[in-house]
């Protein structure tokens, strides 16, 4: 919807985005339940209700290191950088240095809807939308909301959003802040080295919009700051950043258009440690004291819509410039070496996509071409005592031209429909993957400046139905991901590996590589509806069989890819002012590593919530997270030490609406 009448007022809110094109009905999509967004403390919590959609590891973004918060879809090939594109009113949210998404930068209170589009987005979505796209739409015309909550583990959260408006202008301001004293992830074998995974974060957003008839001009400014502990003494991270977007659009009528420019700046400090074999102590291993990155870009689209057909043409541009600055090689109580590594990338593309309806038939298709460039790559390592260089690398500049396309077909049979689609996409490597080595515990992963872009081809076939009180959709998919960028194990510690990296006992030495192809086949299904006037329900599942076909990992399943993921939920309005809710998420086991030697057990997590309206605009609630106190295994080290996600915890809160 691009317009919505605001109750009791004559003002019409026009959002600066084009409405969903009719052709999108041929592709597989999942709408996140608005209630899941409204009750989430962080946005990635709500997205996990879509089976097969997850960040690289099981911890949510309040606990997970920023470098593993990239989102993937269909569980076929998760990665720290993510293989999905995330946009907010058209602006990409993927970090310019690492491709991951800082979920805490987007307060859930500001998001009106979220749609998961499955499959490569060759048309208007472009580079990075390899396994799919998440479209976020920002709230408009929703009044003011203030929420306050507290809970076990020292959990405290405050959030608010308000909007002032008249016939021509509107101004929105939103902010949130939260803290969590955390939990100790290691249970068996715990030592003095183990400490809490804690987190603190804050984010703010302001938006000014001007409307004149069908035209809207929007300026949005956002910023965030986060810090967290990794569960080991001395292992912490801090991230901060800001973004600005300017959008001019005429989204209604037979001829609609949008022009947008955006910029994003980010920085990351991350310290890692080596752990003693008996976990009695930690030793500093790496201090990533700065990771300045800046990205900017723009996109434009022009759409013609007729009674039964339409055509859209557009173009987009994304650039990134960043580097990591680190101290490493700790010895004698101090770091001995310094590293500066980074570069610049640019991706530019253009597309055309059209659709046509013939009675109950819908045909849609489009093509695009992208140019990707990586240049000014550099890596310099020096002795800190003298400043003398010990490693200087200047990778060759690279350039890639990538044509992609997608086709879709849908046939209606009254309340039923059939759909099918075929698509191709590509994802260029991030600056992080190209240039930044990293360490987790005693495991060391080396960068690779020679990485080639990933490419994917796939096809979907599905069916569904829309009825008065419920709807359903089910389908199968088949994809092949070429040149998959994977952390490949090349050796085990203790030992020294190129280019002079020491790996201690119990650690693994890995390098990012284009590790051949990943073939995936799967099933996805979802249904939701109203049991009666007081009870609503939803259920969804994803099954993915994925394995490497060729390359050094042939026959192995990609790391962090569960075979089964299921979600279900129900909301019961027990009384006019009382709502009881339950949400269940299940994942089968997954592997921690590329060699499938470290298995993380299956887990089912049940969340419960009760909300009571005291009077108009005033509600209180209680939420019991992980109500069954499930042991959620999130990591396993080379010597078998297991880490676990958050235990059961209770939160209570107050919500004021106007």
- The per-residue pLDDT for range 242-264, each reduced to its tens digit, is 999 999 999 988 999 999 999 99
% the chain with pLDDT above 70? 98
Domain enclosing residue 81, as ranges: 3-657
Do 460 and 419 touch, CB atoms closer than 8 A?
Answer: yes
Q: Reply yes or no on whether the pLDDT at 387 is more than 50.
A: yes
Asked whether the bond before 499 is cis by omega within 30 degrees of 0, the reply is yes
pTM to 2 decimals?
0.93
State yes or no: pLDDT of 3 exceeds 80.
no
pLDDT surpassing 60 at residue 521: yes
Residues contacting 192, CB < 8 A, separation 6+: 233, 279, 280, 281
Average confidence (pLDDT) over 208-218: 93
- β-bridge partners, 330: 335
- In this predicted structure, what is the pLDDT of residue 491? 87
CA separation, residue 323 to residues 96, 394, 537, 643 (Å): 10, 13, 47, 31
Please compute the mean of the pLDDT values over residues 154-178 and round it to a whole number: 94
Task: Quote the pLDDT of residue 5.
Answer: 39
Q: What one-character DSSP code corresponds to residue 94?
A: S
Q: Is the pLDDT of residue 58 over 90?
A: no
CA-derived radius of gyration, the chain: 24
- CA-based angle 482:484:489, to the nearest 5? 140
Q: How much is the mean pLDDT over the chain?
A: 92
Query: 155-165 and 145-151: which strand pairing?
Result: antiparallel
pLDDT band at 504 (very low <50, low <70, confident <90, very high): confident
CATH code of 301's domain: 2.40.170.20
Q: Which residue, 339, 149, 138, is CA-closest to 247?
A: 138
Per-residue confidence (pLDDT) for residue 525, from 0 to 100 = 97
Tokens in use for 265? 């700046």
Contacts of 576 (CB under 8 A, 6+ apart): none
- C-alpha–C-alpha distance, residues 353 and 590, integer Å: 38
Running DSSP on this structure, what letter comes out for residue 154? G
Nearest partner of 76 among 598, 484, 503, judged by Cα: 484
End-to-end Cα spacing for the chain: 23
Would you say 101 and 88 are in contact if contact means Cβ atoms under 8 Å apart?
A: no
Residue pair 263/318 in contact by the 8 Å Cβ criterion: no
Contact 180, 154 (CB under 8 A): yes
Tell me the C-alpha distance between 135 and 125, whole Å. Answer: 10
User: How many domains would you assign to the chain?
Assistant: 1
Tens of pLDDT, residue by residue over 540-577, are 999 999 999 988 999 999 989 999 999 999 999 999 99
Token representation of residue 245: 């977007």
In this prediction, residues 184-206 reach a mean pLDDT of: 95
For residue 8, give every residue at least 6 positions away whose Cβ sits within 8 Å of its Cβ, in sequence order, or none.
none
**256 and 209 in contact (C-beta within 8 Å)?**
no
Helices (H), 417-539: 431-435
| 226 has a pLDDT exceeding 90 | yes
For 125-161, the pLDDT digits (tens) are 878 889 999 999 999 987 899 999 999 999 999 999 9
Mean pLDDT, residues 612-618 taken together: 95
Question: Would you state the pLDDT for residue 351?
Answer: 96
If one counts every other C-beta atom within 10 angstroms of the C-beta of residue 615, the result is 7
Q: What is the pLDDT of residue 421?
A: 96
Measured CA to CA, the distance from residue 647 to residue 637 in angstroms comes to 20
Q: Does 6 score more than 50 pLDDT?
A: no
Quote the pLDDT of residue 2. Answer: 40
Give the sign of the dihedral formed by CA 481, CA 485, CA 491, CA 493.
Answer: negative
Say if CB 323 and CB 342 are below 8 A apart.
Answer: yes
CA dihedral 130, 35, 55, 646 (to 10 degrees): -170
pLDDT digits (tens, 9 = 90+) for 288-346: 999 999 999 999 999 999 999 999 999 999 999 999 999 998 888 999 999 999 999 99
Distance CA 221, CA 244 (A): 5
Quickly state the pLDDT bin for 495 (edges 50, 70, 90).
Answer: confident
pLDDT at 11: 54
Report the length, in residues, of the chain: 658
At 372-384, the pLDDT tens digits run: 999 999 999 999 9
Mean pLDDT score, 641-646:
94
């Amino acid at each position: 919807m691009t317009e919505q009448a605001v109750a009791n007022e004559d003002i019409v809110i026009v959002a600066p985005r084009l409405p969903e094109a009719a052709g999108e009905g041929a592709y597989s999509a999942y709408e996140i339940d608005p209630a899941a967004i409204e009750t989430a403390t962080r946005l990635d919590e709500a997205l996990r209700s879509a089976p097969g959609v997850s960040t690289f590891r099981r911890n949510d973004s309040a606990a997970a290191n920023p470098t593993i918060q990239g989102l993937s879809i269909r569980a076929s090939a998760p990665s720290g950088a993510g293989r999905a594109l995330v946009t907010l009113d058209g602006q990409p949210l993927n970090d310019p240095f690492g491709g991951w998404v800082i979920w805490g930068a987007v307060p859930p209170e500001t998001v009106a809807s979220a749609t998961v589009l499955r499959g490569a987005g060759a048309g208007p979505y472009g580079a990075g939308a390899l396994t799919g796209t998440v479209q976020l739409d920002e709230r408009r015309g929703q009044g003011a909301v203030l929420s306050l909550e507290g809970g076990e583990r020292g959990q405290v959260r405050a959030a608010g959003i308000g909007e002032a408006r008249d016939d021509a202008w509107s101004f929105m301001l939103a902010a949130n802040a939260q803290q969590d004293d955390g939990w100790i992830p290691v249970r068996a074998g715990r030592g003095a080295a183990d400490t809490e995974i804690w987190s603190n974060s804050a984010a703010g957003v302001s938006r000014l919009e001007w409307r004149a008839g069908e035209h809207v001009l929007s300026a949005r400014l956002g910023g965030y700051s986060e810090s967290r502990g990794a569960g080991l003494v001395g292992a912490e991270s801090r991230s901060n950043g800001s973004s600005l977007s300017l959008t001019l659009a005429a989204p209604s009528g037979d001829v609609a258009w949008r022009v947008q420019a955006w910029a994003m700046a980010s920085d990351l400090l991350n310290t890692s440690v080596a752990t003693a074999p008996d976990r009695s102590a930690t030793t500093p291993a790496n201090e990533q004291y700065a990771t300045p990155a800046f990205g900017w870009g723009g996109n434009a689209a022009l759409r013609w819509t007729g009674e039964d057909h339409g055509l859209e043409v557009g173009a987009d541009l994304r650039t990134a410039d960043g580097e990591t600055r680190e101290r490493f090689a700790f010895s004698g109580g101090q770091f001995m070496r310094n590293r500066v590594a980074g570069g610049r990338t640019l991706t530019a593309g253009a597309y055309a996509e059209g659709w046509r309806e013939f009675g109950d038939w819908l045909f849609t298709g489009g093509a695009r071409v992208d140019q990707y460039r990586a240049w000014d790559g550099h890596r310099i390592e020096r002795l800190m005592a003298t400043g003398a260089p010990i490693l200087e690398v200047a990778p060759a500049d690279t350039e890639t031209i990538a044509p992609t396309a997608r086709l879709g077909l849908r046939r209606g049979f009254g309340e039923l429909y059939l759909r099918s689609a075929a698509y191709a996409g590509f994802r260029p490597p991030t600056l992080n993957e190209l240039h930044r080595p990293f360490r987790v515990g005693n495991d060391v992963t080396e960068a690779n400046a020679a990485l080639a872009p990933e490419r994917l081809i796939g096809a979907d076939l599905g069916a569904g139905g829309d009825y008065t009180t419920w709807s359903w959709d089910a389908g199968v998919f088949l994809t092949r991901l070429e040149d998959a960028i994977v952390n490949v194990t090349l050796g085990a510690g203790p030992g020294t590996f190129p280019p002079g990296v020491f790996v201690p006992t119990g650690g693994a030495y890995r390098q990012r590589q284009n590790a051949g192809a990943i073939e995936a086949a799967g099933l996805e299904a979802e249904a939701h509806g109203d049991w009666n006037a007081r009870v609503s329900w939803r259920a969804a599942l994803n099954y993915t069989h994925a394995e490497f076909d060729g390359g050094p990992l042939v026959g192995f399943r990609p790391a962090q890819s569960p075979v089964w993921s299921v979600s279900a939920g129900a909301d019961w309005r027990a009384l006019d002012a009382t709502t009881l809710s339950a949400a269940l998420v299940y994942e089968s086991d997954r592997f921690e590593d590329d060699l499938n030697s470290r298995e993380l057990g299956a887990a089912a997590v049940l969340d419960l919530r009760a909300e009571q309206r005291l009077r108009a605009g005033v509600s209180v609630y209680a939420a019991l997270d992980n109500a069954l106190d499930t042991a959620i295994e999130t990591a396993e080290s080379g010597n078998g030490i297991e880490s676990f996600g958050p235990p059961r915890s209770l939160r209570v809160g107050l919500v004021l609406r106007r």
